[in-house]
Amino acid sequence: MSSWSISITDSFLNSSLTLPNKIRDKLPDVIEKLKNNPKPTNGHSVKIKGIDLWRIYVTHRYRLFYKYDNQWVKLLKIVERDKDTYKSENLMSIAEEESLCVIKIDEDESLPTQSSFLTSEQLEHWEIPKEYHERLLSIDQEDDLLELPIEPKWIEIIIDCLPSREKSIEEELDLIDKKAEYVLEESDDIRKYLQGEIKNFYLKLSEEQEKILNQKNDYPLLIKGGPGTGKSILAYYQTKKLLKDGYKKILFTTINPSLIEYYIKPLKALIGDDLQAKGVTLKTVDELASEIYRRSYGERYKLATEEICLFCLKSVIHEITIIPSIKNQIINLGLNYLLDEILIVIESRGIESCDEYLQISRFGLGYKPEKQIMEQIWEIYVQWKKILRKSGYITTEHIRQKALEIINKKNTSVFNAIVIDEAQDLSPVAIEILMKLAISKNKFYLTADTEQSLKKLPFAWDFLQDENEYKGEIRTLNRSFRNTEQIGKAYPSIISSVETASFSNLRGEKPKIILTDDLLNQAKLIKVFFKQSSKKFKLPIYTGVILSPERQYGEFLARQLSFYGLASEYQDKLNHNSSNSCIRVLSLESVKGLEFPFVVVVGLTEGLLPNYINNSHRDEQKELLKQQRQLFYIACSRAMRSLLVFGSKNQPSSFLEPLRENDYWQIEVL
């Protein structure tokens, strides 16, 4: 049995496509040699002088570059040897060695020569969809390729299949080495992949993640960690481990349908295509609660929008009889505060009486009204709920409450284990529903980062344990893999309370803040930013996104960029099934749990971000500012390779002030 495990990169998989078919068939044997022994003593490998890099013959013409450490061999890329392959200083010794050998070209290795940038034969051999051929054949340089409005994965395949024209192979491999790793379980799996029998490979865990996964967990477990530390990846692996341990009914859940959709691909790569047949249910808590509620109450009520909730609340305040001085104080709190008080304090915790409301802990919340005010808020809540119900409306939290009542009454525990990602944005009632659906609380796993909570929900491990009378354990992930070192150092400074994680070893530019009030120039600068980032990291330009605090601003910017020749589209939420052939402009709230190579954050203008709500109480205003600062933090932490922030020159956001005081950001005033 071999003692080495194999990990692979996207570049290795893509470069495998360049091989003639008969050479592809030789790859499993080459990989098997490395599994048995990746060191030079195997008689096939050569170390690159001065750096931790190795290469092994595939054939006379092709070389496989790799690294090895801690019983893992990482396959980076297959390179066709030509006069430029060993042009860097560290590779000269190999060049001298191989110059003594005649490169024998087998008939199996021959591919058509080309005079143009791309040929039809290449595109067919690399299995690029025919619908893109005409556009691809019309370009004559790599920069044009990166900007083509076609699905990015095909561009990335072509980039990896083409010989590097601007970087040495050493520089290119250094970039590849910092990309994600996937696990190749069997040597023959590469043949199956190239023949279409395997669609995806699953991500390799870090040592830190492996340690947490392999610990014995006979208790509820919370995985904490900042952005990019791999909490979701660990949740995927935890699901696989539960299946391996014999658990037949597992729920994998998170905060919204968009993230559920995002999780399907990695879970299928790890577990198999038919998740349901394997015993894994992938649903949000609200999908589950709605199913339970509808079975008992039917479709009689419609879900109330925020606008409907505010309209009814305003009507109740005007109609209800309250002492004038108290009524004025309530009006001064503002409708948005009152609605938050109802939905987040009362309904999200399942509070059933005024006495309970007066005594409830306000963990994670700001301003607490005086007793008289709270008593009147409760009366307003009772009337507000009555009007909604008699008008055919119901809130999300009320559906959750009713579902919880049904579960408690019928003792409906259906899952052997439950895995929750992004738990910090679930209400106490939602968490309790999930706990009650679990047959055993000992198989209850959560991932969370309270600094990424967009709501004033009382998520804290101690709070949850006290409320639900059980004890669990906490494990923390400390290393971030998402961002460049420069971005990883910069975005935590947005929130002073954030502990700095250890960073990836990928280097890039410091993120930049540009202060300008010229909207036309801003659009031009955004276009330049995406072009430069795309070229620097050799990634398709349309993998970038723009994040806006306001829909109107986002739609305006998307139109501007499209007019300037950079196809852009505003989306209320990320469409994972779209062709991704344009720059997506998204709301700040819609990108929780996601990541993008290039990110532009706009709207850092006082009054826009932060957006002050008129007439709200001073203490509540502080809480609102804290939430919006977290929103800015989350937006910036989505950036993997390049980050650009735009603020106003004349009315810059107060969120930018502390960023001027450190050396992690570039500041430019136009």
Indicate the angle between helix axes 324-333 and 306-319, nearest 10 degrees: 160
Tokens of 89: 């200083």
Give the contacts of 369 (CB within 8 A, at least 6 positions apart). 333, 377
User: Residue 225 annotated as binding?
Assistant: yes
Q: How many CB atoms lie within 10 A of CB 227?
A: 25
Q: φ and ψ at 586, to 5 degrees?
A: -125, 160
Please state whether 59 falls in left (phi above 0), alpha (psi between -120 and 50) or beta.
beta
- Determine contact, residues 522/602, Cβ cutoff 8 Å: yes
- Tell me the two tokens of residue 57: 């013959």
Per DSSP, the residues of 363-394 read TT------HHHHHHHHHHHHHHHHHHHHTTEE
User: What is the spatial distance between Cα 419 and Cα 436, in angstroms, rounded to a whole number?
Assistant: 13
Sign of dihedral through CA atoms 386, 388, 391, 392?
Answer: negative
DSSP tally for the chain: helices H, then strands E: 27, 21
Cα 343 to Cα 194: distance, rounded to the nearest angstrom:
52
Tell me whether residue 364 is annotated as binding.
Answer: no
Q: At 514, phi and psi to the nearest 5?
A: -110, 125
In angstroms, rounded to a whole number, what is the distance separating the alpha carbons of residues 643 and 544?
A: 10
Looking from the CA of 2 toward its CB, the CA atoms found within 13 Å total 17
CA distance 180 to 176: 9
Q: Is 229 annotated as a binding residue?
A: yes
Query: Per residue, what are the HEC states of 181-244?
Result: CEEECCCCHHHHHHCCCCCCCCECCCHHHHHHHHCCCCCCEEEEECCCCCHHHHHHHHHHHHHH
Nearest Cα neighbor of 521 from 632, 641, 605, 602 is 602
For residue 505, what are its two tokens?
């070893």
231 is annotated as contributing to ligand binding:
yes
Q: Are 261 and 590 in contact (CB under 8 A)?
A: no
Q: For tokens 């967009």, name the residue.
A: 454
Render 293-336 in DSSP notation, one character per residue: HHHHHTT-SEEPPHHHHHHHHHHHHHHS---HHHHHHHHHH-HH
Instruction: Confirm or deny that 227 is annotated as ligand binding.
Output: yes
Residue appearing with tokens 């005033």: 669
In angstroms, the Cα distances linking 648 to 33, 360, 490 are 59, 41, 20
Known binding-site residue numbers for ATP: 225-232
Known binding-site residue numbers: 225-232
